[in-house]
Amino acid sequence: MTRHILIAVLALCALAAGLWGLEAPRAGLEIRQAQVGETPVTVMRQPAAEGPVVVIAHGFAGSRQLMSAWQLSLARAGFITVSFDFEGHGRNPVPMSGDVTRIDGTTRLLMEETGRVTEYAVTLPGAQPRVALVGHSMASDIVVRQGIADPRVEAVVGISLFSQAVTEEAPANLLIVNGAWEGALRAEARRVMAELGAEEGDTVGTPGDGFARRAVAVPFVEHVGVLFAPAGIAEATDWLGDSFGMMPEGQPVALGPWIILALFGAVLLVRPLARLLPAGEAPWHPARGPFWALALAPAVLTPLALSLFDTRFLPVLVADYLALHLALYGALVLAGAAWAGGLPARRGLLAGLALAAYGILVFGGIMDRYVGSFMPHAGRVPVILAILPGAILAMLADAVLSEGTRAALWRRVVARGAFLSSLGIAVALDFERLFFLIIILPVILLFYLGYGTMGRFVGRRTGSVVAMGIGLGVILGWALGVTFPMFDPGA
């Protein structure tokens, strides 16, 4: 009992310290939410700040929260900052539309949305009609093109940049920030600099004097980590300060360690809380032969079977396919388990619902405020409900194969590796349509790391496959429903 009390104290301390570290950079800032048409925006600034504005755009499947470290840092430095949710993302109720393969399709519509947010930003009290655009990944192309088209834009910062619109002359003032582990994007940045006879790390021209260009690689980070790396934020802050003749204040905000600490506390707290649940016996333990058959056969058969049908029925990129993939995979595993005499006992429903509520409200609440949009608008509810049955079936299957996480480590690795490979086979069979599933694979890996650990605590205590399957299934369906960009090609 003493050990569990100590774990609870440690978890609460980690959670409290993490939340304190995440809230501290907001102190003293004026922060408010607004709407530009249907587009949700967040304004951050020093009280009574005057000067240029910085419009900040997230990447594909992201939201305003993912850019918080950049927005907080630039607001504390003295800029008037505005971030927003692109159409189809976060809490923006308008789906993405147009042809994603054409510049005059989806790209043009996102440029127009960026222009509307810029128009709003320059009308804020104290704002000057001088603009910098900051964009990550997908948005790097949007801000480059919009920066060239809008004469008010005096500086562009492309994070993890890829854009065919970059030339030797345009945009006139461009800073490229990549993670050191982004090999392909760094190669593109080097090519852009080589056209000017320079290398990565060099500066060509002077920001604010008509033309300037620089490309930097932030050590030890990749495509998402670059958004939380203070070194990259510092480069951009100095660059924008020089571009507008300002002396930026303060230091870059480092949110990453505090996010990890808060989420660690939220996960660890489940361990002592699980002791409040009734203890149960270990679930079915399949012999090696049935285990290998259940782990591999559904993983291979599912993408092969679905490749024969048109699986489009939701206004969300590839979420309809994923809903069916999860459902068929889960159903095949459970049918095989039933045939082998291992269908799980129907107990643990309340424990599963408690796990789901904790995962969505506590862990998900932290994610929603500091990492990425996790609370849906009304338009996403049907998407969540459509994904939910398949997600529950898939997580019930995962719980059967992992024996409520009591299985040997190699069995858990094989089962989950086979499931991820199943999604990989699906992408290989229809790369053009299902390419975006590749983006979801890291989300599922993080799901296993965070939510899977919470499920493990519950599973080891209760021995209930139903508790894990229901709890993790509801969370997975919810997470996927709020992550996939909503898309209406006919709009």
Instruction: Classify domain 2-256 by CATH number.
Output: 3.40.50.1820
Question: Taking 70 as the threshold, does the pLDDT of residue 276 lie above it?
Answer: yes
Write out pLDDT tens, residues 415-448: 999 999 999 999 999 887 787 777 777 778 888 8
Q: Which residue has the higher pLDDT, 267 or 463?
A: 267
The whole-angstrom separation of Cα 303 and Cα 321 is 10
Q: What angle is formed at CA 410 by the lines to CA 407 and CA 412, rounded to 5 degrees?
A: 55
Please say whether the beta carbons of 50 and 126 come within 8 A: yes
Of the candidates 127, 96, 113, 111, the residue with the CA atom closest to the CA atom of residue 40: 113
Rounded mean pLDDT of the chain?
A: 93
pLDDT for 447: 87
Of the candidates 344, 329, 351, 347, the residue with the CA atom closest to the CA atom of residue 285: 344
* Residue 412 φ then ψ, to 5°: -65, -40
**pLDDT band, very low/low/confident/very high, at 309 (cuts 50, 70, 90):** confident
Question: Taking 70 as the threshold, does the pLDDT of residue 69 lie above it?
Answer: yes
pLDDT for 435: 78
DSSP summary character for residue 486: B
Question: Taking 70 as the threshold, does the pLDDT of residue 338 lie above it?
Answer: yes
SS3 string, 127-177, reads EEEEEEEEEECHHHHHHHHHHHHCCCEEEEEEECCCCCCCCCCCCCEEEEE
User: Could you tell me the end-to-end alpha-carbon distance of the chain, in angstroms, rounded to an integer?
Assistant: 59
Write out pLDDT tens, residues 203-215: 999 998 889 999 9
Which residue ranges does the chain devote to CATH 3.40.50.1820? 2-256
Global pTM value: 0.92
pLDDT for 491: 56
DSSP per residue, 221-258:
--TTGGGG-HHHHHHHHHHHHHHHT----S-----HHH
Listed range (55-59, 215-219, 479-483) with the worst mean pLDDT: 479-483
Structure tokens at 294: 């259940």
The whole-angstrom separation of Cα 156 and Cα 240 is 9
pLDDT for 163: 94
Write out pLDDT tens, residues 125-183: 999 999 999 999 999 999 999 999 999 999 999 999 999 999 999 999 999 999 999 99
Of the candidates 425, 451, 261, 180, the residue with the CA atom closest to the CA atom of residue 189: 180
The whole-angstrom separation of Cα 358 and Cα 420 is 26
The whole-angstrom separation of Cα 47 and Cα 80 is 10
The whole-angstrom separation of Cα 228 and Cα 208 is 26
